Amino acid sequence: MTAAVDHKPTVGQTDATPVLDVDGMSVEIRTISGTVRAVNDVSFTARRGETLALLGESGCGKSMTATALVGLLEPVADVVEGSATLGGVDLFQVGPAKRREMAGTELAIVFQDALTALNPLYTVGTQLAEPFRIHHNLSAKEAKRKAVDLMTRVGIPQPESRLNSYPHQFSGGMRQRLLIAMAVALNPSVLIADEPTTALDVTVQAQIMALLRDLRTEFDMAVVLITHDLALVAEEADRVAVMYAGNIVETGPVAEVFANPKHPYTKGLLNSVPVNARRGDDLKSIGGTPPDLQAIPEGCVYQARCPLAREICADKRPTLDTVTANRKAACHFPEEVSNV
């Protein structure tokens, strides 16, 4: 696993412009058996020209964070605390009309299942042209020309002849390109990519990530990459925020976090990657299971699986504090993590 590659900026770069500032965001879900806090006190900053990865296992709250930011939470879920400031506007304090105005122009999202995200009843040309007609009030002919330009930009072959095709007539990789084209149509400040390559093979995955990287540079966007793939984070992201049980437990430049993790969960994830495994070797894993979100312990959320757990971990929840320059961790014993 390589934590730094040529296309990435200097590790630890801090002069990029902050564009999205999420501060203390919490999301609760109402269920039959009670209220569940799926996202708890999450804070991070996305910067122009950089990729921030939200990393963690399934169910840790990554996608819930994304849907809260873009205003697509299910009716049973609510943002109950915190703020998300984008362009001087708190996304959680504006009404539906302002949300629609900012959709695509300031904040956009790419989902992992393009076939579900695209409307099967409309041609791709109609769907690609729609943002221009709604936000820029372009004529049908002008919007169609913009749609062709977008398809060309994201690598769709013969765009003029494919404008009248439907989503199911494209391959998985081509559908994902179409979804990315719709997301960047209006040059948003922030692009959230929620597991954008999960259903794609390795070759197509590399092509999609290269496309996102090029678009990020071209439009000077901030990209928030949501994934559970450590190799993808090492290859594509500049900074990482590691999530566990709805909480961010570690943040920092990718190369530094992966080389010297300061939280036991991050160390466990890295140890579970079979980098030098040989046939017959036992594969390492993190023992136990994540806590039930309806019964989160009083202290550290990771205490039941942590090899460093002590009495203080059961009594006091650690806060996400600075451990080194540009690095934060929510652990009572960050300097001992290297020993586990």
Residue 127 host element (H or E): helix 124-135
Query: By three-state DSSP, how is residue 243 classified?
Result: strand
Minimal CA–CA distance to 18: which of 41, 50, 42? 50
Q: Quote the pLDDT of residue 133.
A: 87
The pair of three-digit structure tokens given for residue 63, joined into one six-digit string: 């996608």
Q: Quote the pLDDT of residue 92.
A: 95
Minimal CA–CA distance to 240: which of 99, 67, 104, 46? 46
Q: Quote the pLDDT of residue 310.
A: 94
Tens of pLDDT, residue by residue, the chain (340 residues)? 433 334 444 334 445 778 999 999 999 999 998 899 999 999 999 999 999 999 999 889 999 999 999 999 999 999 999 999 998 999 999 998 898 889 888 999 998 888 888 999 999 999 999 889 888 888 888 999 999 999 998 999 999 999 999 999 999 889 999 999 999 989 999 999 999 887 788 888 898 999 999 999 998 999 999 999 999 999 999 999 999 999 999 999 999 999 999 999 999 999 988 876 678 777 788 888 899 888 888 899 999 999 999 999 999 999 999 999 899 999 999 999 988 8
How far is Cα 253 from Cα 124, in angstroms, rounded to an integer? Answer: 38
From residue 111, give the alpha-carbon distance in Å to each of 16, 35, 197.
Answer: 26, 26, 9
Q: Quote the pLDDT of residue 202.
A: 86
pLDDT digits (tens, 9 = 90+) for 13-38: 445 778 999 999 999 999 998 899 99
Convert 156-167 to b/e letters by CB count within 10 Å (16 or more is b): beebeebbebeb
Task: Give the largest Cα separation in the chain, rounded.
Answer: 68
What Rg value do the Cα atoms of the chain yield, rounded?
A: 21
pLDDT digits (tens, 9 = 90+) for 35-80: 999 999 999 999 999 999 999 998 899 999 999 999 999 999 999 9
The pair of three-digit structure tokens given for residue 25, joined into one six-digit string: 């965001």
| Residue 28 Cα to chain centre, angstroms | 19
Residue 31 host element (H or E): strand 18-31
The pair of three-digit structure tokens given for residue 308, joined into one six-digit string: 């460093």
